[in-house]
Amino acid sequence: MLAAVAVFVVLMLVVIIYTRNSKNRPPGPRGLPLIQQSFSMNYVRKEETFTKWRKQYGPIYQCSALGQTIVVLSDPDLIREAFSRPFTANRQESNVLKLFYADNGIIFSSGELWQQTRRFTLFHLRNFGMGRTQLEGLIQDQVSAFVDDLVAPNVGKAMSIDKGLRIAIANIIWGVVSSERFTIHDTRALEVMDSFDEVGKLTGVFILLFLFPVLERFPARLTGLDKAYKLFSIPMDKLFQPAIDEHARTVDLNGEPRDYIDCLLQEQHRSPDLFTNRHMLRSILDLFVAGYDTTTTTLRWAFCFLCSHPEVQRRLQAEVRAVAGDERPPQLADRPRMPYTDAFLMETQRVANVAPYGIEHVTAEEFQLGGFTVPQGAQIVPLLQAVHQDEALFAEPLEFRPERFLDAEGKLKPSRVLMPFSVGKRSCIGEAMARAELFLFVTAMVQRFTLRFPDGFRHDFSVSESKVLIREPTPFLLVAESK
């Protein structure tokens, strides 16, 4: 009996390996059938596992975890080529995500619903200020609230800027979405943002559910889902649903929309089947979270790099002074004359890798890429961090050196291989907003202050383990000195 089982297992392995090779699949780690690499993955810092295998198997490889085939790309041309195909723009379907409405909204939806919502959201984000002076006003209001109310009163003292920065950045996207603003001490906003952080810590629960979907049917308190539901209901009940209800009472369904929620309500009026309440809630949640978390984290890295590289900070200050002077805040119109500042922000995004592997896509069709066959239904992971740390593309990639993006005359060199917002049909829709925020916050801070770490402290650029998807620096305090 034992011998028969052993023969069966060996035969299975031979068949699996043979069919895999015969289909010209990308190379990759081998594992036991079904389990594959499920237990070799660091699910909190997936980019670390992906990078380790990249060194072994090259710029395109295949692995498999939690029942999902994954093709990992670390070459900028392969990423561009893969994401230029219309059929690679899908996301993973998952019963676990559905529990949190994630088959709706913008970030995790696919097909017709995603296409319509993305088109509609981009259109309205533009109408509400992206790339226009209206957006700059919204950002400048928050820059001055942050600088005047939070930083200036604490000059010379070691302080944490995290909470204030989060509120300021959240206010910009929340202003576009709902026309509302939080005050710097708004407990509701902080509670909502904390609940998102806490959901991020429940990775273990979600992995278990991906591995054993049947657990979904067990009582939620046994699987830990009850905690996830409770945290998820905080933003819904405290912020998003009340905002929809309030707008529904006052919206003019045929008039000029006041903000994104008005637009959603007008769309719902036109196509009630597509724009359900769940879809509206998830669309608002997606914009809100994507809108504050990545930008806040990038700014924290930027301030961390400024404190660690005083010579870079001095050069930035000199450029800000030369172009904007000391009397008025820097503006987006100054940007073309500030190549060093742009190079600093590009280098910040290259080294920080806030979204180290973007968000996984799924291909609806089998296709050829880099000489291999990518199977239908595979997840495609753009390992952006590996691109940004590739020695062949960036000399001494671990060094923080903004000059790498400047030519011999000090002019900005555009880069095709820097892709922090990903590329293609599913690339970040908030890129213009994020780039404006980064520029205005950083320039305003160095115009008014010189930033440093408290005496005796050095940040080692370590990454917080408490967050999935996003690389966030471990906490630090900074001291702002008046110039």
State which of residues 265, 290, 362, 446 lies at the interface with ligand HEM (CB under 6 A).
290
Of 225 and 428, nearer to ligand HEM (C-beta) is: 428
State which of residues 295, 317, 385, 443 lies at the interface with ligand HEM (CB under 6 A).
295
User: Total number of residues binding ligand HEM (CB under 6 A)?
Assistant: 25
Segment near ligand HEM (CB under 6 A); pick from 132-140, 290-298, 308-316, 362-370: 290-298
* Nearest-approach distance from CB 258 to ligand HEM, in angstroms: 18
Q: Residue 137 class from Cβ within 10 Å (0-12 exposed, 13-18 middle, 19+ buried)? A: exposed
Under the binding rule (CB under 6 A), the answer on residue 85 touching ligand HEM is no
Joined together, the tokens standing for residue 243 give 């905002």
* C-alpha distance across the termini of the chain, in Å: 81
d(CA 108, CA 92): 7
> Which residue is listed with tokens 């110039």?
483
d(CA 366, CA 432): 33
Under the binding rule (CB under 6 A), the answer on residue 106 touching ligand HEM is yes
Q: Helix or strand or coil: residue 370?
A: coil
Distances in Å between the alpha carbon of 165 and those of 149, 150, 168, 172, 469? 11, 9, 5, 11, 20
Of 66 and 290, nearer to ligand HEM (C-beta) is: 290
Stated as kind and residue range, the H or E segment containing 7 is helix 2-22
Taking CB under 6 A as the criterion, which residues in 137-176 touch ligand HEM?
A: 173
d(CA 1, CA 280): 58
d(CA 174, CA 210): 32
Of 138 and 479, nearer to ligand HEM (C-beta) is: 138
* Nearest-approach distance from CB 38 to ligand HEM, in angstroms: 23
* Nearest-approach distance from CB 423 to ligand HEM, in angstroms: 7
Segment near ligand HEM (CB under 6 A); pick from 255-263, 293-301, 394-402, 459-467: 293-301
* Nearest-approach distance from CB 15 to ligand HEM, in angstroms: 34
* Nearest-approach distance from CB 260 to ligand HEM, in angstroms: 10
By the 8 A CB rule, do 136 and 268 touch?
Answer: no
Of 423 and 479, nearer to ligand HEM (C-beta) is: 423
Segment near ligand HEM (CB under 6 A); pick from 19-27, 137-145, 243-251, 289-297: 289-297
Q: What are phi and psi of 149, to 5 degrees?
A: -90, -25
* Nearest-approach distance from CB 408 to ligand HEM, in angstroms: 29
Indicate the pairing of strand 379-382 with strand 449-452. Answer: unpaired
Q: Binding marks (x or -) toward ligand HEM, 110..139, rule CB under 6 A?
A: --------x---------------------
The dihedral formed by the CA atoms of 34, 37, 43 and 46, expressed in degrees to the nearest 10: -140
- Other Cβ atoms less than 10 A from the Cβ of 18: the count is 10
State which of residues 286, 319, 342, 472 lies at the interface with ligand HEM (CB under 6 A).
286
The partner residues of 368 in beta bridges, in order of sequence, read 373
Of 98 and 230, nearer to ligand HEM (C-beta) is: 98
Under the binding rule (CB under 6 A), the answer on residue 291 touching ligand HEM is yes
Range 63-73 burial, b when 16+ CB lie within 10 A, else e = bbbbebbbbbb
Of 53 and 441, nearer to ligand HEM (C-beta) is: 441
* Nearest-approach distance from CB 287 to ligand HEM, in angstroms: 5
CA 127 to centroid of chain Cα atoms: 23
* Nearest-approach distance from CB 122 to ligand HEM, in angstroms: 9
Q: Binding marks (x or -) toward ligand HEM, 412..441, rule CB under 6 A?
A: --------xxx---xxxxx--xx-------
Range 143-179 burial, b when 16+ CB lie within 10 A, else e = bebbbeebbeeeeeeebebbebbbbbbbbbbbbbbbe
Of 102 and 312, nearer to ligand HEM (C-beta) is: 102
Of 111 and 213, nearer to ligand HEM (C-beta) is: 111
d(CA 381, CA 61): 10
The partner residues of 32 in beta bridges, in order of sequence, read 36
Q: Output DSSP code: residue 372.
A: E
Q: Which residue is nearest to ligand HEM (CB)?
A: 430
Joined together, the tokens standing for residue 185 give 């001490």
* Nearest-approach distance from CB 125 to ligand HEM, in angstroms: 6
Indicate the pairing of strand 68-73 with strand 379-382. Answer: parallel
Under the binding rule (CB under 6 A), the answer on residue 177 touching ligand HEM is no
d(CA 313, CA 395): 22
Taking CB under 6 A as the criterion, which residues in 15-74 touch ligand HEM?
A: none
* Nearest-approach distance from CB 299 to ligand HEM, in angstroms: 8
* Number of residues that make up the chain: 483
State which of residues 294, 317, 341, 379 lies at the interface with ligand HEM (CB under 6 A).
294
* Nearest-approach distance from CB 374 to ligand HEM, in angstroms: 16
* Nearest-approach distance from CB 434 to ligand HEM, in angstroms: 4
Taking CB under 6 A as the criterion, which residues in 310-369 touch ligand HEM?
A: 354-355, 358-359
Q: Which residues bind ligand HEM (CB under 6 A)?
A: 106-107, 118, 173, 286-287, 290-291, 294-295, 298, 354-355, 358-359, 420-422, 426-430, 433-434
